[in-house]
């Protein structure tokens, strides 16, 4: 898949974090599933969710119509 290959070529990973015991966890390389989750994220679409309600954000979305595209 072209998008996944590009993300890997650029070295993009999921986030790194540090456990409560101080051990550092390195993020994994993106795959189709992680990129699909990212592009369908409400924040990316300029939506905010509180409990079970969605609210329109006050800023323009990063990408105005990512849900209309599929990764492939």
CA atoms within 13 A on the CB side of 20: 0
In degrees and rounded to multiples of 5, residue 53 shows phi and psi of -115, 145
**pLDDT for the residue 53:** 76
**pLDDT for the residue 15:** 87
Q: How far apart are CA 7 and CA 72, in angstroms?
A: 13
**pLDDT for the residue 12:** 87
Q: Which residues of the chain have pLDDT under 50?
A: 72
Q: Which two tokens stand for residue 31?
A: 């795959």
Mean of pLDDT over the chain:
77
Radius of gyration of the chain (CA): 15
- Would you kindly state where each structural domain of the chain is located, as residue ranges? 2-68
In degrees and rounded to multiples of 5, residue 47 shows phi and psi of -125, 145
pTM: 0.49
Three-state DSSP class for 2? helix
């Amino acid at each position: 898949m072209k998008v996944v290959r590009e993300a890997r070529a650029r070295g993009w990973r999921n986030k790194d974090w540090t456990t409560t015991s101080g051990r550092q966890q390195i993020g994994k390389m993106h795959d189709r599933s992680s990129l699909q989750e990212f592009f369908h994220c409400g924040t990316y679409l300029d939506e905010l969710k509180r409990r079970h309600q969605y609210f329109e954000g006050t800023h323009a979305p990063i990408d105005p119509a990512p849900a209309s595209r599929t990764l492939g």
